[in-house]
Structure 1
Amino acid sequence: MLVESFGNDGLIFLIAFLLLCGIIAAKFSSRLGLPSLVLFIAVGMAVGSDGLGIIYFDNVEIAQLIGILALIIILFEGGLQAKWKTIRSVAAPSISLATAGVFFTALITGSAVYLILDVTWLEALLFGAIVGSTDAAAVFATLKERNIKAKMGATLEAESGTNDPMAVFLTIMFIELIISDDSSLWMLIPSFFWQMGVGLVLGLAIGKLAYKAINKINLESSGLYPILAISFAFVTYSAASFIDASGFLAVYVAALVIGNSELTYRYSIFQFNEGVAWTAQIMMFIILGLLAFPEQVFQLSNIVAGLLISLVLIFIARPIAVFLSTIRMKYTFKEKLFISWAGLRGAVPIVLATFPIVAGIEGAEEFFNIIFFVVLTSALIQGATISNVASRLGLMGPVKDTPHHSIELISIAKANAEVVQFQTNRDNYVVGMKLHEIEFPTKSSIAAIVRGDELVTPYGDTEIKEGDFLYILVSKKYHSQLMKVLNKKKDQAK
């Protein structure tokens, strides 16, 4: 359809134009205090038929496919970046939020939908299930550059990375109950445990296989390693889907395993996936923006219904679900309030809203428009105020210092060595010491020190300071010894 309208050259230009608009939107999103997804969606709606009329797009199946592919990439990148040590500390509450939390949210929101809209109970609960989960794309993008406390960030990211199976299960379950007289709730429940359990096991297995393959296979070009890594993301999702397990959960778990393992060309893989994830995020939200027709989304009846449902979701359903899901867990009242407020809705509810349309359920288009409005409301109200809420609740962490530099000289697969990047903090024993005073392991050498924006040439008398990024060339055999030296705390010194 697009090729026929624009021709190949025009289509290529259009894709480039949309990506440039997305990049500009991402650049200004933080200055405007808005989540980038809002501006991406706005770009899609602006160039759509109800805006500038450049593109007419109403293919729900293609939008659904693009959304699923993009979510695979985004979940994979989020899992790669997550630190297992942090995730492990919040595993129990995150799993509780991802299962019981989604269920309670869907139930309470569905009850409100039944009272607000002229629908059946099953249709109301279907609506609640669709908006019941937080969105990985929205949460990852919103928290990435914000200095929220690590515990809060890890909880929200782990929840959003693992709650899709529950939302997908509930959505498909209610669709089947609506369209089929033969479906039974008791017959569908075991499939949930199958999806979660097998998805988890498959993610662990393929993740281990992936990092071993990445390290063992000797490829001709270093540029092939990031492609090999992301290929495993799609393999993982497909393998899980073939056996009716949760592909999204499997992808996130596999990425956690890969990202927390020793990898050849680690930084190239991370940087490549970050770029691909941004591209996927931009294109997904623009496509979803194209799929929504503003004249239909912003009808007065949809605005009124959407606002009422959003208020229930944000101020009643989500907080109750969070407090019930974290009973007897080590979270303060303020932390629970923040987790409640930071439960952003995004691409997942919009993608799930296409499922009833594809299934041919009557009134599904109206559901889509209202859900689209609910997502926008969540992103605008919650996403734009996350930092302020965290600050008022005293949950801001140290300013994130993300390095915009990396050194990757050789592959450990070919030379059995690697360049380790390590940022010092004030508790590290090596801070304040000179290089010749530090007992580095055999076959290790400081390649460079980056201090702020300055590259410091390392000499024996060079003193290590707090916040320095150390780049150390070390033999794989002595990697663990090096990390013991670097991670040694001052209070551990004899």
Structure 2
Amino acid sequence: METASTIILIGSSLLIVSILTSYLALRIGTPLLLIFLGVGLFAGIDGVGGISFNDADSAFLIGSIALAVILFESGLDTKLSSYRAAAWPALSLATFGVAITSGVIGVAAHFLLGLPWIESFLVGAAVSSTDAAAVFFLLRVGGITIRDRVRSTLEIESGSNDPTAILLTAMLVEAALHGWGTPLELAGFLVKQIAGGAVLGVLGGAVLAAFINKARLDPGLNPVVTLAFALFLFAGTNELGGSGFLAVYAAGLVAGNVKLRGALGLRQFHSGLTWLSQIVMFVMLGLFATPHDFGAIALPALALAVLLILLARPLAVWLCLLPFRFSANEKTFMAWVGLRGAVSMLLALVPILGGLPGGQVIFNTAFLVVIVSLAVQGWTIGPMARWLKLIVPPRRGPVERFELELPGGADQEMVAYTVHPKSPAGQFQLEPFD
């Protein structure tokens, strides 16, 4: 009883501290995800809290659930119109871009860290994908407005490149433990993961939307249904050999682009749940880290972070976007918005779970690379966009929506708009009643 209360007290205290520090961080422009990570480090084994948390299995489980929730909400909030404008360049970055980045960093890690080739490429695979949580947050909440095609490319890439990095990591761990399979086996594994995740995700999203619209449950139950279904789809797809992360993203994308009963309430629920997932995931990974081990690999990890930011990511972006009409400034900006985050640290847990000798070194290296990425790139996205002259005026539109439950089951909304002071509509004044 006392142990349970202690755990709940510590967990809620960390959440409260994360929320309070995030309020201060917004005022000074600090990347929030870096703040959440810092809270975990501060409370961890080498911090003031002294909390010892070294259970890699639990860390991977919690992180996977949180990432599934984040990716579902990312899909739910992405319009298909974005895909029409940016699907091919984004998918090019999400596949070939991940492979190029992984290869460059893998070669560098072999010489900087002295790891065997397979473990070196595991470092590259772990940090090869951009982080959906970081990119979505900084582009949508960061206070900057850029061209739709550039923003959509970055958001779609960050939401769809995780399966590629996960596949690379899984294949490399399997190769380290049991040797390489035949090319046919590797191709079959890739096809099963990608095709299985995409097909089950699309079907799952369609089924979820149809159920929500036809079942007409109590509005309070709809968010519970979507959450349970997303987690069921994630785990079920993984069990069938597909990519669960791709499946939940695709399901959210499908459900978010059809008329959905109580859609506004669902989006608000999942937005709040995504905040909670981000806080829990980053604080938990901060608790899992062991800073006293960082000294041995600090300089190589810093060198890898610099290579990732200034060489590997720009090379991948410029090569992958050659066939597409992006300006030099736009390519430079997309190369800079290559933030690494929780996905990199979760993938770096896989070698530890697999029992590889260099597993802890891989995790520590990925952890330091993520910190440098969030600190350097996350702090400078706004200034970089302004320096490259990519800021565009924000669109005027509805600022608040309120769902109205009217008799007959009709879905109606009341929308509040901001009226510009010089608009003719703003010249009317209502006279007070006597």
Whether TM-score is above 0.5 comes out as yes
Work out whether residues 45 and 52 of structure 2, in 8 Å CA contact, stay in contact via their aligned partners in 1. yes
- 1:309 CA drift (Å): 0.4
Deviations, residues 277-297 of structure 1 (Å, cap 9, x unaligned):
100100100000000012122
Match of 2:292 among 290, 295, 300: 295
Cα distance in 1, alignment partners of residues 110 and 58 from structure 2: 30
Cα distance in 1, alignment partners of residues 84 and 409 from structure 2: 30
2:432 counterpart residue number: none
Distance verdict in 2 for CA 1:465–1:45, change over 3 Å: same
Cα distance in 1, alignment partners of residues 398 and 113 from structure 2: 50
Gaps of 5+ in 2: 428-434
1:250 counterpart residue number: 247
2:57 counterpart residue number: 61
Work out whether residues 148 and 387 of structure 1, in 8 Å CA contact, stay in contact via their aligned partners in 2. no
In the alignment, residue 313 of structure 2 is paired with which amino acid?
R
The answer as to 2:92 corresponding to 1:88 is no
- 1:268 CA drift (Å): 0.7
Deviations, residues 267-314 of structure 1 (Å, cap 9, x unaligned):
1101000001100100100000000012122x1x32101111011111
Work out whether residues 76 and 255 of structure 1, in 8 Å CA contact, stay in contact via their aligned partners in 2. yes
Distance verdict in 2 for CA 1:145–1:398, change over 3 Å: farther
Q: TM-score, normalised by structure 2?
A: 0.93
Match of 1:419 among 403, 408, 412: 412
Distance verdict in 2 for CA 1:9–1:398, change over 3 Å: same
The answer as to 2:374 corresponding to 1:385 is no
The answer as to 2:188 corresponding to 1:193 is no
Gaps of 5+ in 1: 421-446, 455-461, 467-494
1:426 counterpart residue number: none
Match of 1:214 among 208, 212, 215: 212
Distance verdict in 2 for CA 1:401–1:43, change over 3 Å: farther
Work out whether residues 145 and 400 of structure 1, in 8 Å CA contact, stay in contact via their aligned partners in 2. no
Higher helix share: 2
- 1:376 CA drift (Å): 0.3
2:340 counterpart residue number: 345
Aligned residues: 424
In the alignment, residue 115 of structure 2 is paired with which amino acid?
V
Cα distance in 2, alignment partners of residues 326 and 20 from structure 1: 42
Work out whether residues 419 and 425 of structure 2, in 8 Å CA contact, stay in contact via their aligned partners in 1. no
1:100 counterpart residue number: 96
In the alignment, residue 352 of structure 1 is paired with which amino acid?
L
Cα distance in 2, alignment partners of residues 186 and 114 from structure 1: 27
Identity %: 37
Cα distance in 1, alignment partners of residues 8 and 314 from structure 2: 45
Match of 2:402 among 398, 407, 423: 407
The answer as to 2:411 corresponding to 1:451 is no
Cα distance in 2, alignment partners of residues 252 and 216 from structure 1: 23
- 1:83 CA drift (Å): 1.4
Match of 2:106 among 110, 126, 135: 110
Work out whether residues 399 and 415 of structure 2, in 8 Å CA contact, stay in contact via their aligned partners in 1. no
- 1:402 CA drift (Å): 8.6
Work out whether residues 400 and 415 of structure 2, in 8 Å CA contact, stay in contact via their aligned partners in 1. no
What is the DSSP-based 3-state SS (H/G/I as helix, E as strand, rest coil) of the residue aligned with 2:405? coil
2:261 counterpart residue number: 264
Work out whether residues 148 and 390 of structure 1, in 8 Å CA contact, stay in contact via their aligned partners in 2. no
In the alignment, residue 418 of structure 1 is paired with which amino acid?
D
Distance verdict in 2 for CA 1:319–1:260, change over 3 Å: same
Cα distance in 2, alignment partners of residues 400 and 64 from structure 1: 40
Cα distance in 1, alignment partners of residues 69 and 128 from structure 2: 22
Cα distance in 1, alignment partners of residues 156 and 76 from structure 2: 12
* Superposed CA RMSD: 2.2
Deviations, residues 218-247 of structure 1 (Å, cap 9, x unaligned):
21x311111112222112212211211111
Deviations, residues 71-92 of structure 1 (Å, cap 9, x unaligned):
0111111111111112321000
Distance verdict in 2 for CA 1:419–1:464, change over 3 Å: farther
What is the DSSP-based 3-state SS (H/G/I as helix, E as strand, rest coil) of the residue aligned with 2:130? coil
Cα distance in 1, alignment partners of residues 180 and 311 from structure 2: 34
1:427 counterpart residue number: none
Cα distance in 2, alignment partners of residues 207 and 464 from structure 1: 41
2:430 counterpart residue number: none
What is the DSSP-based 3-state SS (H/G/I as helix, E as strand, rest coil) of the residue aligned with 1:223? coil
